[in-house]
A and B are shown apart, each in its own frame.
Chain A
Amino acid sequence: MPDSETVSNNLKHHFANLEQQTATSKFGMWLFLATEVMFFGGMFVSYLVYRLSYYNAWVAGSQTMEITLGATNTAVLICSSLTMVMAVHFAKLGKRKLTAIFLIATLVLGMTFLGIKGVEYYKHWVHHEVPGPNFHFEHEGNFDPRHVSIFFTLYFAMTGMHALHMVIGVGLLSWLLILNALERFSAEYNSPVEIVGLYWHFVDVIWIYLFPLLYLISHRHTG
């Protein structure tokens, strides 16, 4: 379909023009991301409070993390942010094929992340590190294993919430791919790609904070 048609088909009735509509959608997503920051903020505060209270248990918990897997996942996500940027870029140029390629690449990288995360969860499960009745932690050093359970509770809550956001992101990418295949986007109208891009970057940024906090900063310490 011609580009002008994508504009008239997508301009909502209550906006004066497409610029206003695009600016409005972007602003809405930024505001939603502010909500998300506060959502994760509650868990970051809990992390901080308990890390200060139970430092040794935090070190012990952190040392069970597999840095290789975590680092791989970090690299995967950073690459996915790059491919997302490329998808947005080509969407703005109106190049549907390249947009599709980079959206698929982002999608695959996102799934890779979730797969690796699943492997990590499985290992924690096998090692009885999932909080609950089966939780069991080898007791060495000056800390209470129940406090390690709090570490793992927060670990699963934070990475679990993050993974949930990744799953939603994967859904959004699939939706973009369908719209793209239906030729709904053009050089003039492509704000959904950009807005999902914002969301995707945000989810990456959350991980950029989770990785050092959960895997790195206590790892070498011999508390």
Chain B
Amino acid sequence: METATAPVEPKTNYLNADYGIKSWLLTTDHKRIALLYLISITVFFFVGGFFAMLIRLELLTPAGDLVLADTYNKLFTMHGIVMIFLFLIPSVPAVLGNFLVPMMVGAKDLAFPKLNLASWYIFITGASLIFYAILTGGVDTGWTFYTPFATTFSNTNVVTAAIGVFIVGFSSIFTGLNIIVTVHRMRAPGMTWRRLPLFIWSNYAASVIMVLGTPVLAITLVLVALERLFHLGIFDARLGGDPLLFQHLFWFYSHPAVYIMILPGMGVVSEVIPCFSRKRIFGYNFVAISSIAIAVLGFLVWAHHMFVAGISTYAALIFSILSFFVAIPSAVKVFNWTATLYKGSITLETPMLYAFAFIGLFTMGGLTGLFLASVGIDLHVTDTYFIVAHFHYIMVGGMTTAYLGGLHFWWPKITGKMYPESFSKLSAVLVFVGFNLTFFPQFLLGYLGMPRRYHAYPPEFQVLNVLSTAGASILAVGFLMPMIYFAWSLQYGKDAGPNPFRAAGLEWMTSSPPPTFNFDETPVVTWEAYNYDQIDAPNEGVKVAG
């Protein structure tokens, strides 16, 4: 443990190695690029959240009184595009993954540092185009760009936004490619596949989806843009095109994209739970393989978004069964996390609170996903708030919670400073309470038949909508608090030391913040992942840095 007695001179680390603006904008250090991503997606998160607040304010009353119907269409579209493509997809992989993958495998950097920097510039270019589209009138197609509305009827900036998403897609491909190659080729001596932290396994699985799924979305958006610009008939039924083909191609990426958004979050939870239960994870192999299984099965279920679109009954049946299959590896993870807790020495630090919130909310989101995988129930609740609630339980309750948990867990490593413990616990509680208050009423609303994407609704739905909006305000406070105290901790936080949580993993065996090349010398791994029994054994704390 940290036994620093005399004040030592501050070690050179990746943050104080150089201060110039060029040293940041032209850096190839994966840790600095991770921080560039962190700052960008935090801005985008609050922009997307701003749109969400306007949506919730409009829905406070049954009448469409705050914004016009057209404006409302743009609000939910831009909320979706910003949150999915500019926040959720890059959140854990491009921020925490970028920072941690090389450190966890014991490498000096990602395999292709320049490509990594390029991916951030590509991301910013695409994001700028999306924001240009937003500022010059917005988009109203929904984040799904469904044809023929997007190609023929919408009068908004569809092409600009689509090109923006197309470009952002390449940044995600490059991040995924970098992660996969790094895991294959850059592991330290002794770091075998079965000694890899589960965070690596789940980011690896998500990267496979990024590399194989994103290009399909890219070409689909190219075809949409071509059709809209030149009035071609690829997806327009009047010209012989097939709108269903668009939906198939779109969801071929966009369903697996859900797993891009959730798998890295599962990786975070798999790190946090063992650390604060002081136990090796239960069923390491199963948790690792279930990530790969989710990635593979995730590619085979896309048409469950199209049960009401007019696909054949047999196709619906097959896709329904396959969708049920995805629940198996997901449940394996939940059961194994829970089993890890059994007889563990559990402490409720902030990351652990977030991890608990994740397990509960993800389970809710996952189980309601099974409702939607059954064709009969799906026909009843399609395009209602039931769907909205379901995927927010996964995206916000799952991924955003895991992202925040991970950010707290590795904040001492990233900055060398501790966050304030009481405020952060309060924020975790506020997020959990606010989230449930926002989205649980939406399950009821959807079940009662309130359709999504309308700015007005019958008065009998008002009580539940008011609850939801009230919850959203609490949630907003829960999200704003970390912003403030993280910034505060940079200046006033306690020094964290190399390993404040006595956690396992190579990233904790170097100083905080880490030196530019991560380790003073390349580590040699001779132990299993999550060797908490060894770390906690008396007189044998040798596996912990300090």
Contact = CB atoms under 8 A, between A and B. Distances in A.
A38 B230 CA distance: 25
A154 interface: yes
B205 interface: no
Given A13-B108, A38-B215, A28 B230 contact: no
B216 A42 contact: yes
A131 B212 contact: no
B218 interface: yes
Interface string B216-253: 10111011001000111110000111100100110010
Contact of A27 (B184, B234, B522): B184
B233 A46 contact: no
A28 B113 CA distance: 12
Nearest to A28: B181
Contact of A38 (B109, B115, B216, B232): B216
A47 to B, nearest CB: 11
Interface stretch (A66-74, A94-102, A141-149, A204-212): A141-149
B249 A45 contact: yes
Interface string A4-19: 0000000011101000
A34 B111 contact: no
Contacts of B240: 54, 144, 146-147, 149-150
A129 to B, nearest CB: 13
A153 B215 CA distance: 19
A203 to B, nearest CB: 15
A49 B245 contact: yes
B159 interface: no
The prevalent SS among residues of A at the interface is: helix
A32 interface: yes
A36 B215 contact: yes
Given A28-B111, A46-B249, A132-B230, A150 B213 contact: no
Contacts of A27: 181, 184-185
Interface in B169-200: 173, 177, 180-181, 184-186
Contacts of A147: 240
B112 interface: yes
A175 interface: no
B211 interface: yes
B206 to A, nearest CB: 14
A161 to B, nearest CB: 8
Nearest to B246: A46
Contacts of B113: 12, 14
A35 B232 contact: no
B214 interface: yes
B67 to A, nearest CB: 36
A49 B235 CA distance: 12
A43 to B, nearest CB: 6
A161 B218 CA distance: 12
Given A31-B177, A35-B177, A146 B219 contact: no
A122 interface: no
Contacts of A28: 111-112, 115, 177, 181
B239 A14 contact: no
Contacts of A20: 185-186
Given A46-B245, A157-B222, A149 B233 contact: yes
Contacts of B218: 39
Contact of A34 (B211, B223, B241, B248): B211
B234 A150 contact: yes
B107 interface: yes
A153 B234 contact: yes
Contact of B249 (A31, A42, A154): A42
A24 interface: yes
A43 B226 CA distance: 13
A23 interface: yes
B517 interface: yes
The prevalent SS among residues of B at the interface is: helix
Interface residues of A, number: 38
Interface string B515-531: 00100001000000000
Contacts of A31: 177, 180-181, 211
A121 interface: no
A16 B522 CA distance: 10
Contact of B215 (A42, A49, A131, A149): A42
Interface in A35-65: 35-36, 38-43, 45-46, 49-50, 53-54
A34 B209 CA distance: 11
A163 to B, nearest CB: 14
Contacts of B186: 14, 20, 24
A150 B112 CA distance: 40
A133 interface: yes
A113 B249 CA distance: 31
B308 to A, nearest CB: 20
Contacts of B223: 42-43, 46, 157
Given A46-B223, A131-B230, A53 B108 contact: no
B108 A150 contact: no
Interface in A145-192: 146-147, 149-150, 153-154, 157, 161
Nearest to B30: A14
B405 to A, nearest CB: 29
Interface in B80-120: 107-109, 111-113, 115
Contacts of A38: 212-213, 215-216
A132 B157 CA distance: 21
A36 B230 CA distance: 25
Contacts of B109: 13-14
Contacts of B220: 42
A12 to B, nearest CB: 8
Given A14-B113, A157-B223, A46 B212 contact: no
Contact of A131 (B107, B216, B222, B232): B232
A168 to B, nearest CB: 13
Interface in B475-519: 517
A14 B242 CA distance: 49
B216 A39 contact: yes
Which 6 A/B pairs are nearest by Cβ-Cβ distance? A39-B215, A14-B108, A42-B219, A14-B109, A38-B215, A24-B185
22 contacts: A12-B113, A14-B113, A23-B185, A24-B112, A27-B185, A28-B111, A34-B212, A35-B211, A38-B215, A38-B216, A40-B219, A45-B248, A50-B242, A131-B230, A132-B230, A144-B240, A149-B232, A149-B239, A150-B239, A153-B234, A157-B222, A157-B223
Given A131-B233, A146-B233, A146-B240, 5 more contacts: A14-B113, A27-B185, A28-B111, A54-B240, A146-B239
Interface of B: 107-109, 111-113, 115, 173, 177, 180-181, 184-186, 211-216, 218-220, 222-223, 226, 230-234, 239-242, 245, 248-249, 252, 517, 522
